[in-house]
Chain A
C-alpha cells in the first residue's frame, strides 16, 4: 500500500476516533457501537500493521541505508566510474535494483536472512543514535561475505559458468560454489566499496538514480 494511502487511512481513523471521543453518546445506538469497535479496534490495528509493513519495505531502500551519515561514502562508491569497483559496477549496470542496492547484496538469501537483516538494522540504529558509530572506513562486515549472495544471481549465468578465469583451473568453479574460495576476498573481485582508499584519481559517474 502506498505511503500516502496509509497516511490518509491513519488520519481518517484518527478523525473518526475523535468523533467518538467528542460525542461518546453516539455509541448508544447499534450503529454507534459498530463505529466505536471499528475506530477503536479494527482501524487502529489495521493502520498500525500497514504502517509497520510500509516502514519495513522502506528500510530496504538504498535511500534509507544512505540516510545515516556514516553510510554516505558507501553511497558515493556506487557512483565510482570504474568497472573494477564491484559495488559501483553492479549498481550502475542495474545488476542489482538501484533502489534496493544495499539490501540486495547485504541480505543473506537464507531462510531467516531478511529477519537477520532487520535485526542487524536495529543494532545499527542503536549504535548510530545511542552508541559511537565507527568511521566509515573502519566499518567491517560481521562475517565474511558468503558466495551464496553472489551465486543467487550468477549461478547458472553463462558469464559465470563459462568465464575464462573461473575455468582456468578445474577446481576453481567448484570451490567458488562451495564457498571455500571467496568471490570478493581472494584477490579476484576484491575491490568492492574500498571506502577510505580511493585516492585522488577516482572519478564519479553522475548518471542513474
Chain B
C-alpha cells in the first residue's frame, strides 16, 4: 500500500468520524429534550474528538516527504 493511500484512508476515516459527530450535534441542537445535551457531549463530542485525534494522528504518522520520481511527492498531505 502506497503511503498516500494510507494517509488518504486515514483522512477519510477522520472525516467520517467528524461528519457523523457534526450531524449528531446538529440533531441535538434542534432537539428540545433535556437528554440532547448528554447526547451532544457523549456521542457527538466523542465522535468529533476521535475524528480530530485521528486527523492529527494521520499527520504525525505520515512518512517523511520525498521528492523521488516514484510519485510519492503527490501524496495527499
CB closest chain-B residue, reference A121: B34
Shortest B24–chain A CB gap in Å is: 10
Contact digits for B21-64, partner A, Cβ 8 Å, 1 yes 0 no:
11101101110111111101100110011011001100000000
A21 to B49, alpha carbons, bound, how many Å? Answer: 17
The answer to whether A21 touches B11 (Cβ under 8 A) is yes
A25 to B19, alpha carbons, bound, how many Å? Answer: 18
Q: What are 16 A-B contacts defined by CB distance under 8 Å?
A: A7-B29, A13-B22, A20-B11, A20-B15, A24-B11, A24-B76, A25-B8, A28-B76, A39-B18, A41-B56, A45-B52, A47-B25, A48-B21, A51-B25, A59-B37, A125-B38
Interface residues of B (CB under 8 A from A): 7-8, 11-12, 14-16, 18-19, 21-23, 25-26, 28-30, 32-38, 40-41, 44-45, 48-49, 51-52, 55-56, 74-77
- A14-B18, A24-B11, A36-B77 known; 20 new pairs, CB 8 Å cut-off, are A14-B26, A17-B18, A18-B15, A21-B12, A27-B11, A39-B15, A39-B18, A40-B51, A40-B55, A44-B22, A44-B51, A47-B22, A47-B25, A51-B28, A52-B40, A55-B28, A55-B29, A64-B32, A67-B33, A125-B38
